[in-house]
Amino acid sequence: MASEPSPQTPLYSPMQVGCATALGAPIAGCWLMASNFRELGEPVAARRTLVWGGVFTVLALALAQFLPDGFPSTALPVAYTFVVYRLAKQHQGTAFEQHLAAGGRKHSFWRAAGIGVGFLAGLVGVIFAAIYFFPLAH
């Protein structure tokens, strides 16, 4: 079962998880959720969250390639951001609120946003490397 983190140990809020997801794909938000799970004494849930975050990120990138022309470009990111935010709220919202009520702290939004941007930069780098090293034949 989950343990209570020290009030000195900051956690990420579901909104911060959503922010990181919006900026850096599902893996970024799942990274923050995994950090919370580790602090809450749930290492198995942390690992599962990272694996699923990676899977959903790859699926989102693959799906984006098959969307029809004219499909709203923001629809997919809005959808996966909403899903990851709701998962964070469902699985960690109560623990986060209890943590705050016990005098606990939360990480800054700047940190969450920076992690999201860092994952975005990493994904862009991987995509450019893949295009460079594995060009598509025309």
Residue 14: half-sphere exposure toward Cβ, Cα within 13 Å: 16
The two three-digit tokens of residue 82, written as one number: 């909403």
pLDDT at 138 over 80: no
6 part of a folded domain: no
Give percent above pLDDT 90 in the chain: 85
1 part of a folded domain: no
The two three-digit tokens of residue 50, written as one number: 């990272």
Find out whether 54 and 31 touch, Cβ atoms under 8 Å: no
| Long-range contacts of the stretch 130-137 (C-beta < 8 A, 24+) | none
Number of domains making up the chain: 1
Alpha-carbon separation of residue 110 from 9, 36, 92, 134 (angstroms): 17, 17, 20, 35
For residue 53, give its domain range: 14-133
Please tell me the predicted confidence (pLDDT) of residue 77.
96
Q: What DSSP element (H or E) covers 131?
A: helix 109-133
| Residue labelled with tokens 């009030």 | 7
Tens digits of residue pLDDT in 84-131 = 999 999 999 999 999 999 999 999 999 999 999 999 999 999 999 988
End-to-end CA distance of the chain: 54
116 part of a folded domain: yes
90 part of a folded domain: yes
Question: 11 φ, ψ to 5°?
Answer: -120, 165
pLDDT at 2 over 80: no
Tens digits of residue pLDDT in 41-92 = 999 999 999 999 999 999 999 999 899 999 998 999 999 999 999 999 999 9
2 part of a folded domain: no
Give percent above pLDDT 70 in the chain: 93
pLDDT at 1 over 60: no
Please tell me the predicted confidence (pLDDT) of residue 10.
96
Please tell me the predicted confidence (pLDDT) of residue 8.
77
Supply the Cα-derived Rg of the chain in whole angstroms.
16
138 part of a folded domain: no
57 CB contacts (<8 Å, ≥6 apart)?
25, 26, 27, 123
8 part of a folded domain: no
68 part of a folded domain: yes
